[in-house]
Structure 1
Amino acid sequence: MGKLAVGTVVAKSFLSLARVLADSFRRYHPETPFFVLLSDEVDGYFDPASESFQVLRLSDLGIPDLARFRFHYTRQELMYAATPYLLTHLLEQGFSGAAFLKQESLVVGELTPVLELLGRRSIVLTPHLLEPLCGEEGIERELNILQSGVYNVGFLGVSATPTGRAFLTWWRERLFEHCRHEVPRGIHFEQRWLDLVPAFFDDVEVVRDPGFNVAHWNLPERKVAVSGDDVTVDGHPGRFFRFSGFDPGRPDAVTRYNDRLNMSNLGGAAEIFRRYVRLLDAAGYHETKEWPYAYGQFANGRPIGERGRYLYRRLGRRADRFGDPLATSSPENFFRWSRRRVGMLWTIKRAWWAVRKKWRDGLQLLSGGR
């Protein structure tokens, strides 16, 4: 097995999560380099050189049309869409394999079994579930999984083989514009695309170890035991936990996605959640979570909003005439154009509502006359 690298992606308000993840990973793999891609700007809020991991910027990754890529996504969407670009960059730096861990994760044991797979397989995936669920509730949970994707991007590994590189090229192309939560269109951010991977690419390994990717979607079935630093899941060594939908400010709630789960019915996993809260506190969570997102407003400080991003996406290549979509100093900029456009649309809507009201009033008069 050649030299491997591991990384994650965060906006700066999630920096404390990256700190906890990186520290927990290095505890078990001190020789493996850990990278954090910042899908944001530092803006003086922290010193990348003082962090215990190497910080990468989006501008380091050679993303084509970067200004457009950043603008048409929200903070959450951009973090997700940047994932294949990070993995591609690590392979281009000469690593024989690269693994991605979602920022809201905690490593509780060695990841050697999956890291070693990168010496034998091109692509390594982890599923949400390992066995069929029971009853009506189980069917509902399986339906939810089908909407979000069979495989979870809490962990993903890829090696520097032709197949691995072909997969990343395909995934990058899809996520450049199609990394949003649009379930009716079959899209759940970057994740739903992975359903196609075993059909499109050879040399794919699906990890069926219950110690990996332990989270709210499989905690009802998995028995977690904690004894000091030793964690087991269904009798197997614990590897890493995901805290998807977990709010450290509401430590009794396991996730906003499942109100049936709480700390009182979580068993041994509750200790892992309590441990995670303590680690986040020590990593500056309450400070970093307030840090603003650099790409959430125009250069004049006005918020972009979903309407602005939607209009920009609809323009396609016609938006190129504006240059940097965040800029507001040039005579013809996207901010000015979008405000005129939105104003015009609202004028049309108000006029239409007025016409409809007169039409309805007229119908009521006619009806009353009969």
Structure 2
Amino acid sequence: MIIGTVASARDLPVAIRMAQSVKQHMPSSKVVCGVMEASMPSEAFHCPYFDEVILMQDTGAFADMQKFFFQYTVQEAAQACKSLLVKYMYSKYIDDNLILYMDAETLIISPLEELIAISEKHPIILIGQIIDPEALDMDRLLSLRQSGIYHSGFMAFKRHSSTEQFLRWWCRICENSCCYDESSKQFADQDWLDHSHTLFDDVYSLRHPGYFVTAENLMERWNITLTPHSGYCIDGLPLRALRLSGDFLEAAAWIEIENAELYQSLFRKYSKELPSVNDGAAWSYSLFASGEVVSNQTKGLFRRCYYENPNLDNPFLLSNTFFNPDDSSETEDTPSSYPRINKTQPKPFRAAPAKRRRISGRKSKRTRHKSR
């Protein structure tokens, strides 16, 4: 098995701890860390638990990785880079039949024996946000409409034609569409994964309560107990992996006290064991080369016009002024509101309005009316 994760410099402590837990419980497994920075942090390069560290810009996923990173926030890039890293590992490590992606905050508690067995029959393995029918009520249903049916933080793939189709699709939509939707409070990939079963063959939903316990599903996985051999079980099945995000302790406070104490002790032990790294620097791809912070407005505008400006070789060499209008009073509904640049700039950034797509070959009534 080969396991991959993506991390910025600030996420390296949790990525290193994740890799350490893999080596502790599954020492024969390889761990690959895709680093979302412009240069390799020394902590990643010298980590003994990574079998490979690679800058995501060096994976060769797209022709212009500078443009790819420029459009995204660090959280959006982390979502988008998952597919790129899995595809990279799939292409490079041809002797490994099982490839697993895990978020950097994941902690392995015991060997993933069930996952290995399931992969013998199913090439694509996903984990649902909810796996117990009794836990699904109207409140949780509304939550699922925001968070998505599946969690992209834990996904396994076996070598198979269905996997190859899935990875091509996943990478293609991540190139320019992996953004955070403020209106729906969700990342784009959470919507895409909901369609996995309808788009691809042999997609398996793993319904083991011990896999990938998170703050979001803790109310469903509350029944944690100690085993005689200092292990942990949930509903009588072994605990395999936790995702220990910052809100995990708060979520644990809502379950039975004796169960909460077990989760809380795991979290506190995990926090104490995190290595210290120099994480004070800003994310490489959040700054122009001049040191100016790339505004979210600039990122969003560039993302919407991603394919419209082939003349821009490296947007990080520019500035927010290059992309944004000088007159803030102009509205988004008028062509004059599209970005202008200073006359000294030789090649303006073109922000064309979104193109309408006709589904059928016939013109719409509005189009026919205008053409008279």
TM-score by length of 2: 0.80
Partner of 1:232: 233
8 Å contact from structure 1 (residues 123, 204) kept in 2: yes
Deviation at residue 206 of structure 1 after TM alignment: 1.0
CA contact under 8 A between 1:128 and 1:150: conserved in structure 2?
yes
Matches within 5 A, 1:1-370: 4-42=1-39, 46=43, 48-53=45-50, 54-64=52-62, 65-93=64-92, 94=94, 95-133=96-134, 138-182=137-181, 184=183, 188-222=187-221, 223-226=223-226, 229-246=230-247, 253-254=250-251, 260=254, 266-280=260-274, 283-284=275-276, 287-328=277-318, 335-338=320-323, 341-344=324-327, 346-348=328-330
- Over 3 Å counting, the alpha-carbon distance change for 1:347 and 1:130 in structure 2 is closer
With over 3 angstroms needed to count, the CA separation of the structure-2 counterparts of 1:51 and 1:298, relative to structure 1, is farther
Considering fraction of residues, name the structure with more helix.
1
Q: What per-residue deviation string (whole Å, max 9, x for no partner) do you get for residues 232-262 of structure 1? A: 1111100001123438xxxx5348xxx8579
Contact 1:37 1:86 in 2 (8 A): yes
In the aligned structure 1, how far is the partner of 2:58 from the partner of 2:310?
22
Comparing 165-174 with 94-103, greater Cα deviation is found at 94-103
Gap runs ≥5 in structure 1: 329-333, 350-370
**Aligned AA (1:58):** M
Structure 2: which amino acid aligns with 1:343? D
Residue 141 (structure 1) shift: 2.4
Q: Distance in 2 between matches of 1:33 and 1:144?
A: 35
- Which 10-residue stretch deviates more, 147-156 or 112-121? 112-121
Cα distance in structure 2, aligned partners of 1:36 and 1:44: 12
Which amino acid is the alignment partner of residue 128 of structure 1? Q
C-alpha distance in structure 2 between counterparts of 1:175 and 1:242, whole Å: 23
The runs of at least 4 consecutive aligned structure 1 residues that moved more than 6 Å come to: 261-265
Matched residue pairs, number? 326
Output the CA distance in 2 between the equivalents of 1:28 and 1:82.
26
The question of whether the paired residues in 1 share the 8 Å contact of 2:210 and 2:237 is answered with: yes
Q: What is the CA deviation profile of residues 167-201 of structure 1, one whole-angstrom value per residue up to 9, with x for unaligned ones?
A: 01111111111112216579624233111011111
- How has the CA–CA distance of structure 1 residues 245 and 309 changed in structure 2, closer, same or farther, with 3 Å as cutoff? same
Whether contact under 8 Å (2:34, 2:53) holds in the other structure is yes
Deviation by residue 1:261-288 (Cα, 9 ceiling, x = unmatched): 79887242222111211122xx11xx44
1:214 aligned counterpart, secondary structure: coil
Gaps of 5+ in 2: 332-372
Contact 1:99-1:157 at 8 Å conserved across structures: yes
Per-residue Cα deviation, 1:61-82 (whole angstroms, up to 9, x for no partner): 2121211111101111111101
Question: Following the alignment from structure 1 to structure 2, what is the Cα–Cα distance between the partners of residues 347 and 308?
Answer: 17
- Give % identity: 23
How far apart are the structure 2 equivalents of 1:30 and 1:265? 30
